[in-house]
Amino acid sequence: MPAPTLRKLTGVFLRVGNTTFGGGLPTMAALQRELVEEKKWLTMEDYALAFSLARVTPGTNVIAFCAATGARIMGWSGALAATLAETGPSAALAVLMTQGYETWRSNAWVMAGVAGTIAAVAGMMWASIWYMVRPHLTGFKSAVRSLAITLGAFAAIWKFGLSPLSVIGLAAVVGLLWKEPPGEAES
Amino acid sequence: MNLFLLYLLLFKAVVTSFSGMASLPVVRNDFVVTRHILTDRQLNTAIAAGRTGPGPNGLYLVSVGYFAAGLPGALAGLIALVTPAFLIIPLMHWIGAYANLPRIRGAIRAVILGSAGLLLAASIPLARDAATGPLAAVIFVASFVVLSFTRIETWWVMLGAAVAGLGVKLLG
């Protein structure tokens, strides 16, 4: 097993983070293969702790996961290197894509293609909602609780005009007071 | 636009969400509804640009920053996106054990569900903006079904949607 260096660590996160499509979970799965099984820089317990805490850290789960695993392997410098390697090239590509959309805005053919992708984005957003709700529909009581919170949040902003931050705060309070049904909360 | 304000607005959206796209309601509220810095169409474009390539789902914030203030804005978006991630390091040291307490876990999951409700509310005006005809409706439903119930990657769905848009233009 080669000892981790900052260069090797950055290389792993650069390669995995910027070639894995499909969001955070595939990236975290690929990093598990690299960091735990192949390079053995992390134990499975470290990986599991980083994985679970990434889900409760504000922001994008996979970026928090990279910060946690980078820190576990090489401290703060590892965290910084892993995070920037994971996000930097993809962010540059996102800027290029945005520039491309803007530059070609007056071209009817390009805009026909862009119109198609924008409709797909709307569908993708609903898929994201389904992705967030689905793991909590593990039984009748759990489904009732989950749908009540989701639709309650929707109504709070759509019908009553509450700010998103207020709704998030209210959801946290409801979650504290309304216990998850036993045996149905292990998603 | 003032870069520090841009950073703070994007940071606020990231630090109050628990997944990549969950920041969208706060971003739309601040940038489209309240401050009129972006249009819904630009926000849709930012999401498309952020999701077409590899990397985390929250990358659309970099495009939002770019729309608001060019390349320095994109950099502000990237910094806002990654800053909250470093909270996990003290979390790992100090409160990792509490995250599995049933009440705390229940509250965190409720925040995720609440974020889904907020995302639903934010998606409706964006879907209206995207709904330009029957083809758009078909692409919308198809992308939802494919991304929800298959393992096909987002990139392929975006490519297919673009090809469908071009195909319909070619046919007339």
**Residues A135-168: pLDDT tens digits?**
888 889 999 999 999 999 999 988 888 877 788 7
B97 contact residues in A (CB cutoff 8 A): none
Contact with chain B for residue A74, Cβ under 8 A = no
| DSSP code at position B16 | T
In this prediction, residue A73 has a pLDDT band, given cuts at 50, 70 and 90, of very high
**Burial zone of A22 (CB within 10 Å; 0-12 exposed, 13-18 middle, 19+ buried):** middle
Cβ separation B121–A27 shorter than 8 A = no
pLDDT (tens digit, 9 = 90+) per residue, A42-61?
887 777 778 767 877 888 88
B45-61 mean pLDDT: 84
Cα separations in angstroms, A113 against A10, A89, A105, B164? 36, 25, 11, 7
In this prediction, residue A123 has a pLDDT band, given cuts at 50, 70 and 90, of confident
| DSSP code at position A162 | -
Cβ separation B112–A165 shorter than 8 A = no
Q: Among all residues of chain A, which has the CA nearest to that of B87? A: A57
Give the model's pLDDT for residue A20: 65
Give the model's pLDDT for residue A186: 47
Per DSSP, the three-state class of B31 is helix
* Shortest CA gap A1–chain B (Å): 25
| Average per-residue pLDDT for chain A | 84
pLDDT (tens digit, 9 = 90+) per residue, B104-163?
778 878 877 887 888 788 788 878 877 778 888 899 899 899 988 887 877 788 889 889
Q: Where are the alpha helices (DSSP H) in chain B?
A: 3-15, 24-27, 40-52, 60-82, 88-90, 102-130, 134-149, 154-171
Segment (H or E) for A154: helix A140-158
pLDDT of residue A187 exceeding 50: no
> How many Cβ contacts (< 8 angstroms) between chains A and B?
386
Give the model's pLDDT for residue B21: 81
B34 contact residues in A (CB cutoff 8 A): none
Give the model's pLDDT for residue A184: 52
* Shortest CA gap A121–chain B (Å): 6
